[in-house]
Structure 1
Amino acid sequence: MTIDIAPSPAPVRHPMLAQVVATRKLTPRLIRVTLTGSALDTFGYDGPDHLARVFLAPRADVELCLPASAERWWPAVQAMPDEVRPIVRNYTVRRLDGGRREMDIDFVLHAEAGPGSSWAATAAVGDQIGVLSDGAEYAPPADTDWQLLIGDETALPAIAAIVESLPADGHALVLLEVGDATDELDLAAPSGARITWLHRGATRAGHSDIVLRTLRETVFPVGAAYAFVAGESAMVTSVRRHLVGERGVAKQRVYFCGYWRAAAR
């Protein structure tokens, strides 16, 4: 992950326009979209799981319209006419290079494509998108001895960025649920990070218990843990319940976030 640390304009948190400069298939189901924009050197960045609200035109034949308000951007979006109101979704900033005014966002190409997945699948150089800096939550306490990082494809950008930000002597157990081996990525991890890819196979995303089954069989290192758990809502909830109720991890040392919710079987 690249984060520009050179002096730059004061960070701002308002919707800003960006354009696609490149796309690249990382796996059969993951595509990286590289963006540029004249204001990206002011994009406020707080950490490796930094959330960006993305704004997409409602249709390909409609020009993207962004809210002018920073503090009240959501009411401004809601007040727009239906035919121009942008679609808003949440994604993780995979890479930010303020000096080059570039940003990478990785999109999962879902079988049942939503607006973000559909847009990314056909994104071309010059296509426009809006981005809004919206903060980060990853915050291991100072006394953390080791980290537990758990997620599915939707959490892969955040967890990959976290792994790459670990110090050289950092220790982590990483459990990543994906469809199969073609979904795995090479991550720049320190020697103390043990990455385990969990393949759910033919089971639909959001309906596998492979993460919880593997976690129950995992021996934890000695010391104070910090857990970052993200992905499908039911998986995240079950993992948190296991960590707190069965492993005795303090609630305040577990960050969990349901990025999406699977449909009923």
Structure 2
Amino acid sequence: MSLPVTCVQVIEVARVTPRTARITFQSDELDASVGTSPDQQVKLCFPRPGQEAPVLPGRTDDAMGWYQAYLAIPEAERPWMRSFTLRRRRPDTRQFEIDFVLHGDTGPASAWAEQARPGDRLGMVGPSALYASPVSIGSAAAAADWVLMVGDESALPAIGTLLEALPDGTATMVFAEVADRAEEQPLPGPAGTTVRWLHRDGAAPGRRLVEAVATADLPAGTPFAWLAGEASAVRRLRRHLVEERGVPKASIEFSGYWRHRLTQDDAPTAEDLADARELLARATAD
């Protein structure tokens, strides 16, 4: 399976909120598929200290072979790799936008984004069918009575693209958890979209989301539910919808984007592996 690998360069940095940077990248080799569908994920590769650009294997049609070559790079030189959702491709250009949640220097992506300037370079892997969602938001919405989207600030780029792709007239309810009121941002969607903002204000990640959904007066009928954000909160939300709301598992698309007190470099937990097995089983069935 083809795995696009390219070098991308920063051309603009803007603040969407005090803790969210929207960084615009450009690449002369940008694949035509970049930014053409909602919830499209890529992996960004960040240089190690002292590197002007990340050291990466070249483009290949062998995805597994490329990843093995990436792992063969000495650890001190191997770029940090993190997953992101494309927020928007600028029409008729080779430019695209990605939102970064800023939380100080506790992670390589946030630390890089805090200091990002035009001319800075990263590596980009994807987009690829390897990380594509098997669910079409249009067909999922058409098969459901209404749409439920739940996520924290890490999920807002995907939620934004999904809302923009929903058919007109789709009844939609969004629960979005952010640090505080200053982190709210516009989320355009079809007429009838309801957005409920939840402010963490020091609470544990995901706690406000779980409490709000569990106590909400949700519309009648079966929804298509899309859940993303901190992994343990996503599991609790999914369990609530299935066990207490009677939502079929097949009607829930879910993804644990990040883990509280753990990074993508830490080993997966037993729950992480169970989630991965279920998602793989679904993708194989589809």
Q: Is TM-score (shorter-chain normalized) higher than 0.5?
A: yes
CA distance, structure 2, for counterparts of residue 37 and residue 21 of structure 1: 10
Offset at residue 45 of structure 1 (A): 5.1
Q: Secondary structure at the match of 1:188?
A: coil
- Following superposition of structure 1 onto structure 2, how do residues 74-85 of structure 1 map, counting pairs within 5 Å? 74-85=67-78
CA distance, structure 2, for counterparts of residue 179 and residue 100 of structure 1: 33
Matched, 1:73 2:63: no
Quick one: structure 1 residues 196 and 259, their matched pair in 2 at CA, closer, same or farther if it must change by over 3 Å? same
| TM-score of the superposed pair, with normalisation by structure 2 | 0.82
* Contact map agreement 2:34 2:89 (CA 8 A) in 1: no
- Following superposition of structure 1 onto structure 2, how do residues 180-259 of structure 1 map, counting pairs within 5 Å? 180-204=180-204, 206=205, 208-259=206-257
Offset at residue 60 of structure 1 (A): 4.1
Moved more, 156-165 or 27-36: 156-165
Aligned residues: 251
Deviations 1:229-261 (A, max 9, x none): 000011100000000011010001101111111
- Following superposition of structure 1 onto structure 2, how do residues 171-186 of structure 1 map, counting pairs within 5 Å? 171-186=171-186
* Contact map agreement 1:54 1:91 (CA 8 A) in 2: yes
Q: Which residue of 1 aligns with 2:132?
A: 136
Q: Which residue of 2 aligns with 1:5?
A: none
CA distance, structure 1, for counterparts of residue 155 and residue 114 of structure 2: 19
Which residue of 16, 29, 34 corresponds with 2:24?
34
Which residue of 116, 119, 127 corresponds with 1:126?
119
CA distance, structure 2, for counterparts of residue 50 and residue 25 of structure 1: 22
- Following superposition of structure 1 onto structure 2, how do residues 48-127 of structure 1 map, counting pairs within 5 Å? 48-70=38-60, 71=63, 72-97=65-90, 99-111=92-104, 113-127=106-120
CA distance, structure 2, for counterparts of residue 60 and residue 144 of structure 1: 51
Quick one: structure 1 residues 191 and 158, their matched pair in 2 at CA, closer, same or farther if it must change by over 3 Å? same
CA distance, structure 1, for counterparts of residue 18 and residue 182 of structure 2: 7
Moved more, 29-38 or 89-98: 89-98
Unaligned segments of structure 1, at least 5 residues: 1-11
The amino acid across from 1:80 in the alignment is I
Q: Secondary structure at the match of 1:194?
A: strand
* Contact map agreement 1:178 1:197 (CA 8 A) in 2: yes
Offset at residue 61 of structure 1 (A): 3.4
Moved more, 111-120 or 100-109: 111-120
Matched, 1:16 2:6: yes
* Contact map agreement 1:198 1:210 (CA 8 A) in 2: yes
Q: Secondary structure at the match of 1:130?
A: strand
Offset at residue 96 of structure 1 (A): 1.9
Offset at residue 69 of structure 1 (A): 4.4
CA distance, structure 1, for counterparts of residue 211 and residue 75 of structure 2: 45
Offset at residue 177 of structure 1 (A): 0.3
Offset at residue 161 of structure 1 (A): 1.4
* Contact map agreement 2:145 2:221 (CA 8 A) in 1: yes
Runs of 4 or more off by more than 4 Å in structure 1?
Answer: 43-46
Q: Which residue of 2 aligns with 1:260?
A: 258
Quick one: structure 1 residues 69 and 255, their matched pair in 2 at CA, closer, same or farther if it must change by over 3 Å? same
CA distance, structure 2, for counterparts of residue 37 and residue 69 of structure 1: 14
Quick one: structure 1 residues 128 and 80, their matched pair in 2 at CA, closer, same or farther if it must change by over 3 Å? same
CA distance, structure 1, for counterparts of residue 105 and residue 58 of structure 2: 32
* Contact map agreement 1:97 1:103 (CA 8 A) in 2: yes
Quick one: structure 1 residues 112 and 251, their matched pair in 2 at CA, closer, same or farther if it must change by over 3 Å? farther
CA distance, structure 1, for counterparts of residue 255 and residue 36 of structure 2: 17
* Contact map agreement 2:53 2:122 (CA 8 A) in 1: no
* Contact map agreement 1:175 1:197 (CA 8 A) in 2: yes
Unaligned segments of structure 2, at least 5 residues: 263-286
The amino acid across from 1:28 in the alignment is P
Offset at residue 186 of structure 1 (A): 1.3
